[in-house]
Amino acid sequence: MTAGAAALQTNIRPVKVPATFRAVSKQYPFRVRCAVGSPGNKRYNITLLPGDGIGPEVVSIAKNVLRQAGSLEGVEFSFREMPIGGAALDLVGVPLPEETISAAKESDAVLLGAIGGYKWDNNEKHLRPEKGLLQLRAALKVFANLRPATVLSQLVDASTLKREVAEGVDLMVVRELTGGIYFGEPRGIKTNENGEEVGFNTEVYAAHEIDRIARVAFETARKRRGKLCSVDKANVLEASILWRKRVTALASEYPDVELSHMYVDNAAMQLVRDPKQFDTIVTNNIFGDILSDEASMITGSIGMLPSASLSDSGPGLFEPIHGSAPDIAGQDKANPLATILSAAMLLKYGLGEEKAAKRIEDAVLVALNNGFRTGDIYSAGTKLVGCKEMGEEVLKSVDSQLPASV
């Protein structure tokens, strides 16, 4: 197995929740969704949310890869495409229609493309495309966001960091997704007694919200290299003081996991100074949003990184962490690999179909081993291809019975 193959497979592993987790926090065990289709085959209902910008391009490719990988492992899919974000605003006037919420809840998993664009930047807050994504996360109750960041051996030179710093990086950011300052109340803009406008938001976490995301992080670290770094701002924020207290209290239940704490400003520096020191990071909503984007650039491109958002029950939400990139939308320039790898996470984390997931992971590595690159990861000596051709190369590799480590 190549270093790249080992890194990718190490990076996206299923979180298996043990009996101790279920006993202590019985309302939060993850559930793998499953359904039976035709004799000998399993069938799953997948809601596709292409969204805006490059979203439709990359989701279309990921759908084809998902269908092909599934067919080779006796898995069938029924896809239902629904609007969200700017596309929904243009269609029905709201960023998340009720019909989209219903379809998502009724499915076995949800695959999202991207949301947002310049066209809607001046909309009122409740009519911004991004509001639809926040509403979707809340509706599905997906509180645990897993964002892997791995520097593949094939792409180490695409990183902006020196080779000796970037090579071998393999970390996972576990981000709390449905609490904190993005959802806290009160929030708003008002005029104070001096007639001046004041904007305010609330960073708030209850103990159970911290405990459940910490448990996911401890379990994730246990399945990786056994190191967990909790990132907070406990020297300033009361919410972070409670965060650190609760995470520390849970550590005794995981004696095989080495727990450390780090302030978020230091963590931001350490990620670019010595990223290999990190294995698993757990943090709140806003810090996780920022740090996972920073970690993505260590890998060379935000276009390479998938994510999984999981709940205690019900369908998971799987999406690339990149944005809608409206400046290149429709030009066949997008990198579809993050969405394709999100489809692999959907299979592994959402449906428990690890063989089909591995086919996709291996296919991505084969395409990279063969030298194919989209513009964001291109370097001298490789072949520059567009979004469609990269997808076609991955599809070819999905069919191949050759292992990725050649």
- Token pair belonging to 14: 């299923």
- Token pair belonging to 208: 């159970």
Catalytic, 233? Answer yes
Run of H or E including 140: helix 129-140
The alpha carbon of 185 is separated from its chain's Cα centroid by a whole number of angstroms, namely 26
Annotated catalytic residue within 293, 333, 355, 396: 293
Per DSSP, the residues of 219-282 read HHHHHTTSEEEEEE-TTT-HHHHHHHHHHHHHGGG-TTSEEEEEEHHHHHHHHHH-GGG-SEEE
How far apart CA 275 and CA 270 sit, in angstroms, is: 6
Catalytic, 141? Answer no
CA atoms within 13 A on the CB side of 126: 3
Catalytic, 227? Answer no
Annotated catalytic residue within 131, 233, 348, 358: 233
How far apart CA 284 and CA 288 sit, in angstroms, is: 6
Catalytic, 289? Answer yes
> Measuring CA to CA, which residue among 37, 110, 54 is closest to residue 79?
110
Are 213 and 320 in contact by the 8 Å Cβ rule? The answer is no
How far apart CA 164 and CA 379 sit, in angstroms, is: 18
Annotated catalytic residue within 52, 279, 289, 362: 289
Annotated catalytic residue within 265, 274, 327, 399: 265
How far apart CA 121 and CA 30 sit, in angstroms, is: 36
How far apart CA 34 and CA 77 sit, in angstroms, is: 11
End-to-end Cα distance, the chain: 7
Catalytic, 182? Answer yes
DSSP SS3 for 95 = coil
DSSP SS3 for 8 = helix
How far apart CA 30 and CA 22 sit, in angstroms, is: 9
- Report, as residue numbers or ranges, the catalytic residues: 182, 233, 265, 289, 293
